[in-house]
A and B are shown apart, each in its own frame.
Chain A
Amino acid sequence: MGIGGFIARRALLTIPVFFGVTFLTFFISHVAVPNPVLAWAGEKASPQTLQAIAAEYHLKAPLYLQYYYYMSGLFEGNWGVSPVVHLPVLQLIETYFPATIELSIAALILSLVIGLPIGVLSALWSGRRLDYPIRVLYLTGIASPPFLVALGFQLVFAYYFRILPSQGQLSPSLAPPAHITGMYIVDSLLTHNWPDLVSSVRHIILPATALSIITFPIVSRITRSSMLDTLQKDYVRTAKSKGLPSSVVTFRHALRNALTSTITVIGFALELLLSGTIVIESIFFWPGIGEFTATSILSLDFPSIMGVTVVYTLVVIVTNLVVDVAYGLLDPRVRIQ
């Protein structure tokens, strides 16, 4: 099958998933909720507001009509209005989205930078003594609740040594860079705004590292097992017996092929990172969707919570699509299945 056919078929597969997912969010927000009108209107709504909200979201209509209105609202960008800040949910999400993407990408890069070498080294040293501390590091990453790492970093680096800022995205004394992408590091680079660049890089270090602790163990475990697998392959033995230096065999022959399975784990890692942003952003007051979610939970801002759920899930679906396509491009065997 050609590349185009493969991509098209994989993309078509996401359509039923999309409808299934939105059906579930509809079910949660319209059927499972004990009192939908109160949930959408907010706790403090007056009787008049309740009536207006019930009419606006068609909450008194038959369920199949409610589903129709819900879906057309999703497609038309009408995701409801936050009863707490009185702004359209989609507009709020657009405001907070870039900061979360910036943080997640930084954390993803960090977990690859930490996880890949650990995985490769522990595969090369498997069974030897140095495998042991690597295993301890891995277990520590797995067993740490995300808030513990974040609080520990904040305590040590921001309050004890005072070398990095404890919260926010930018020093309060600086004006944010001109809005291009909404990501401060990218925008300050594009506009050559060096003070903003330094400040935003300093601010992202702690939250991004804390976030990467969630995912680097997964990256290193997958890299380790696929590296161990590849090192057993016949072509690696052939390369060795040809007399190639072991570094060439390790990196050019084995690692390159082992990395394809690391790519498949990136989709899963990004899913975990996005979940993690809810905790990490609220601890570091990072002005992204995660912190927005946490504050929406506390203020019982139901339309915002449902909007955020849809956005997070769409990002995950799209990422998995991209990862699968990339995997198919790298490994032609996948395309046939």
Chain B
Amino acid sequence: MSTEAEAGMDESRAESLKLFLNLARSNPLYVFGLFFTVVYLGYSLVAGIDPAITGFNPLHTNVDLQLLPPSLRYPFGTDDVGRNLFLEVLYGAPIDAGASVAIVLFSFTVGLLSGSIAGYFGGWVDEVIMRVTDIFLAFPGLVLAVAVAAALGPGLLNAIFAIAVVWWPVYTRLARGETLTVKEQQYITAAKAAGVGRARLVVDHVLPNVVVPMVAYATADFGNVIILFSVLGFLGLGAQPPHSDLGRIIYDGLNYIQFAPWYPILPGLTIFVIVLAFAFLGDLVRDFLDPRTRR
């Protein structure tokens, strides 16, 4: 009996994977988004475990090679101390990936827990949780993140924490709204009538239906987090040199915009392409999870 059910589950999983890939193939932008983000995150994982794989030594400088324009040997040119900018970007980009994954996961978890509790229980629990999120939402995001990061001191972990502090309330609102909708659905009433316990009701019936729209939102949200993280790096509050993240590389290149424009611009375009890829991936996931938007 149970093996049969599992086999059915496997089959439906294989089917949805097929559907997902078919959907991805229907639009070249989706292909780009899926391919690029998978390669970027996979590469970041490998480079995060062993940074030496990039072949970039941030401490190795060569003044003879200062500010060379892009060429075959140096696709992004070189920086003010003669380092290969392309490798510097390859070395820095995984920091942005890791930070964004950490921030989105944190916000997702905190938001899912607090939002579903607020929505499911209602009453004063709901009131307290939502008034606290209101206060966080009253701040302009970047400004609050800057204040937190400045209080804790510049550094990668503090920057991640500062953005996470700002980022979770949106997820709480989303989870609460979805929980309120799901709670009123007839299948919940049916499950209650069938005598399903409260804990199982939440875990088996409410949460899965709250998680799905949140996953769609979170995928598209990666891009926003990467931009905000790069802005903190740009302001000097992110990873500290020589282990610069993308925003920090751009900040270092700022003074050379006139005579060596590739130095700040090409790392900036890299962020642009990453964010674009995540935006397409977000569209793809949304189309996949919500059949109503499929054309």
CA distance A302 to B146 in the complex (A): 11
Contact B265 A317 (CB under 8 A): no
Pick out which of these stretches binds chain A: B6-14, B51-59, B179-187, B269-277. Answer: B269-277
What is the 8 Å Cβ interface bit string for chain B, positions 232-247, against chain A (1 contact, 0 not)?
Answer: 0011110000000001
What is the 8 Å Cβ interface bit string for chain B, positions 268-290, against chain A (1 contact, 0 not)?
Answer: 11011001100100000000000
Contact B147 A309 (CB under 8 A): yes
Known contacts A148-B265, A271-B140, A317-B138; is-contact A28 B148 (Cβ 8 Å) = yes
Contact A34 B276 (CB under 8 A): no
Contact B279 A142 (CB under 8 A): yes
Q: Which of A155-204 contact B (CB under 8 A)?
A: 155, 159
Residue of B141, B234, B236, B237 most packed against chain A (CB within 10 A): B234
Q: How far is the CB of A274 from chain B (nearest CB, A)?
A: 5
Q: How far is the CB of A147 from chain B (nearest CB, A)?
A: 6
* B207 neighbours in A (Cβ, 8 Å): none
* B258 neighbours in A (Cβ, 8 Å): 155, 159
CA distance A127 to B67 in the complex (A): 47
What is the 8 Å Cβ interface bit string for chain A, positions 263-285, against chain B (1 contact, 0 not)?
Answer: 00000000110111011001100
Contact A278 B142 (CB under 8 A): yes
Contact B138 A21 (CB under 8 A): yes
Contact A279 B135 (CB under 8 A): no
* B151 neighbours in A (Cβ, 8 Å): 28-29, 32-33, 39, 302
Q: In this assembly, does A250 line the interface, its C-beta being within 8 Å of a C-beta of chain B?
A: no
CA distance A77 to B132 in the complex (A): 27
Q: In this assembly, does B157 line the interface, its C-beta being within 8 Å of a C-beta of chain A?
A: no
Total chain B interface residues with beta-carbon distance under 8 A: 42
Q: Is the interface of A mostly helix, strand, loop or mixed?
A: helix
Closest to A272 in B: B140
Q: Which of A282-337 contact B (CB under 8 A)?
A: 282-283, 293-294, 297-298, 300, 302, 305-306, 308-309, 312-313, 316-317, 320
Known contacts A32-B152, A139-B276, A159-B258; is-contact A275 B147 (Cβ 8 Å) = no
Q: In this assembly, does A17 line the interface, its C-beta being within 8 Å of a C-beta of chain B?
A: yes
Kindly identify which residue among A145, A151, A274, A275 contacts B230, using a CB–CB cutoff of 8 Å: A145
Contact B272 A144 (CB under 8 A): yes
Q: In this assembly, does A12 line the interface, its C-beta being within 8 Å of a C-beta of chain B?
A: no
Known contacts A143-B275, A143-B279; is-contact A297 B268 (Cβ 8 Å) = no
Residue of A145, A278, A313 most packed against chain B (CB within 10 A): A145
Q: In this assembly, does A62 line the interface, its C-beta being within 8 Å of a C-beta of chain B?
A: no
Contact B268 A275 (CB under 8 A): no
Contact B254 A302 (CB under 8 A): no
Q: In this assembly, does B204 line the interface, its C-beta being within 8 Å of a C-beta of chain A?
A: no
Known contacts A275-B140, A297-B237; is-contact A25 B147 (Cβ 8 Å) = yes
CA distance A302 to B60 in the complex (A): 34
* A316 neighbours in B (Cβ, 8 Å): 138-140
CA distance A29 to B261 in the complex (A): 38
Contact A151 B140 (CB under 8 A): no
Contact A293 B146 (CB under 8 A): yes
Q: In this assembly, does A154 line the interface, its C-beta being within 8 Å of a C-beta of chain B?
A: yes
Contact B146 A278 (CB under 8 A): yes
What is the 8 Å Cβ interface bit string for chain B, positions 115-138, against chain A (1 contact, 0 not)?
Answer: 000000000000000011011101
Contact B135 A21 (CB under 8 A): yes
Q: How far is the CB of A317 from chain B (nearest CB, A)?
A: 6
A155-B265, A309-B147, A316-B139 provided; 20 other pairs, C-beta below 8 A?
A20-B134, A20-B138, A23-B135, A24-B136, A24-B139, A25-B147, A29-B151, A32-B152, A34-B153, A39-B151, A145-B231, A145-B272, A152-B265, A155-B257, A155-B261, A272-B140, A275-B142, A278-B146, A305-B150, A309-B144
Interface residues of B (CB under 8 A from A): 131-132, 134-136, 138-144, 146-148, 150-153, 223, 227, 230-231, 234-237, 247, 250, 254, 257-258, 261, 264-265, 268-269, 271-272, 275-276, 279
A-B contact pairs, 24 of them (CB 8 A): A17-B135, A20-B131, A20-B134, A21-B135, A29-B151, A32-B148, A32-B151, A144-B272, A145-B227, A145-B268, A145-B272, A147-B234, A147-B268, A152-B265, A154-B257, A155-B258, A155-B261, A155-B265, A159-B258, A278-B143, A297-B237, A298-B236, A302-B151, A312-B140
